[in-house]
Amino acid sequence: MKGIKILGIGAYVPENVITNDDLTQLMDTSDEWIASRTGIRERRVVSGDTTVADLAIKAAQDALKSANVTADTLDLIIVGTSTPDMIYPGVCCRVQDALGAPHAAGFDLALACTGFVASLVTAEQFLRTGMYKRALVIGADIHSRFMDWTDRNTSVLFGDGAGAMIVEASETENHLFASELHIDGTKGCDLKLQTNITNCPLVEPRSAISPYLTMNGREVFKFAVGLVPTSIQSALKRANIGLNDFDYLVLHQANHRIMQAMTEKLGIEPERMVFNLDRYGNTSAASIPLVMNEAVLTGKVKPGDVLVLCGFGGGLSWGSTILRWTAVDHRLQDQQSVQEPATVAP
């Protein structure tokens, strides 16, 4: 089995910012309620004809820059998304075309907010066995098109975005230590988004179906706080890494109260958790690479840091993976080389 190297990371969010105050035009809510119950202050949403593939392509281009590799070297593209623009072709096909990655195989993987972790773990299997050498893993979702914007229980929580990571097989190094994936279909109804396409007109019609995301918030809260910390502990155990021996917890950015309760349950200081939920809301499959990208760009996460990535959400589903960030981020190097002449000759 080969080892895994992480080469780069990238992200993209749409420009349109919707604040909590903006939402008061659509429903009976307040900045105070949303911020205190969730930690969210604003989110990004797509406008016009922007597609989830457009976001995924921009995040992928950013990750290629970070890794300093070209798209024609990619062998595999996996897009974790549960809000594709089309049933087919898959988002991966549009990404492949736009990037110019003719040698890449690919598929989309729908596992809601666990989509990125599940896609990364799936890519890992192809690389470890030697079937492929280099993979692009994307998490991208546009939930703003699947919201009832008068439903204050759900619509205030979500935002749109995309994140991407480039990983490759290595003969000499391994920086992906252990992973776990789970689903519990018995609780699927607690968080769901159904298609409401009609039956053939010659047969009994389907029952009326909500085209919007529906959620039992309290049950999802209980599930996340109850099961997810156990999965983190179990992945750490398999990696032989203690609770004090990793640097940052990169949790799916769903709700700050959920995240806080998880750190309490694990006995981890909240400072060891990366956080950008306040500015983007829950971006579903995008949230982990989005927050990780920010932590790398701001220098919070440094080469050598061990990270615990953990996604959870619709399915219900959850999964954790433990990795070491070792990549030299070429976006940061480029910034330094642009700034250097100014410091030499002010």
Ligand X SMILES: CC(C)(COP(=O)(O)OP(=O)(O)OC[C@H]1O[C@@H](n2cnc3c(N)ncnc32)[C@H](O)[C@@H]1OP(=O)(O)O)[C@@H](O)C(=O)NCCC(=O)NCCS
Q: Which of 92, 113, 276, 293 is catalytic?
A: 113
Q: Which whole-number Å values give the CA distances from 121 to 15, 191, 194, in the listed order?
A: 30, 23, 26
182: annotated active-site residue: no
- What's the closest the beta carbon of residue 190 comes to ligand X, in angstroms? 9
The residues, any chain, with a CB within 8 Å of residue 176's CB and separated by 6 or more, are 3, 4, 6, 124, 167, 321, 322, 323
Q: Which of 93, 252, 255, 293 is catalytic?
A: 252
- What's the closest the beta carbon of residue 2 comes to ligand X, in angstroms? 32
Task: Specify the amino acid at residue 220.
Answer: V
**CB-based closest residue to ligand X:** 217
Reported as type and span, the H/E element at residue 164 is strand 161-170
C-beta of 150 vs 333, nearer to ligand X? 150
Tokens 């694990």 appear where?
Answer: 266
C-beta of 66 vs 317, nearer to ligand X? 317
C-beta of 107 vs 221, nearer to ligand X? 221
Q: Which residues of 269-280 are buried (b: 16+ CB within 10 A; e: fewer)?
A: eeeebbbbbebb
- Decide if 249 contacts 273 (C-beta within 8 A): yes
200: annotated active-site residue: no
C-beta of 135 vs 193, nearer to ligand X? 193
- Decide if 110 contacts 139 (C-beta within 8 A): no
330: annotated active-site residue: no
- What's the closest the beta carbon of residue 287 comes to ligand X, in angstroms? 9
CA angle 175, 179, 182 (to 5 degrees): 160
Compute the residue count for the chain.
Answer: 346
Instruction: State how far the Cα of 169 lies from the Cα of 40, in Å rounded to an integer.
Output: 37
Instruction: State how far the Cα of 106 lies from the Cα of 283, in Å rounded to an integer.
Output: 22
- What's the closest the beta carbon of residue 294 comes to ligand X, in angstroms? 19
- Decide if 196 contacts 210 (C-beta within 8 A): yes
Q: Which residues bind ligand X (CB under 6 A)?
A: 29, 33-34, 37-38, 113, 152-153, 156-157, 215, 217-218, 220-221, 254-255, 258, 282, 313
C-beta of 50 vs 260, nearer to ligand X? 260
- What's the closest the beta carbon of residue 213 comes to ligand X, in angstroms? 9
C-beta of 12 vs 312, nearer to ligand X? 312
- What's the closest the beta carbon of residue 212 comes to ligand X, in angstroms? 14
Backbone angles phi, psi at 44, to 5 degrees: -105, 145
Instruction: State how far the Cα of 254 lies from the Cα of 163, in Å rounded to an integer.
Output: 16
Catalytic machinery residues:
113, 252, 282
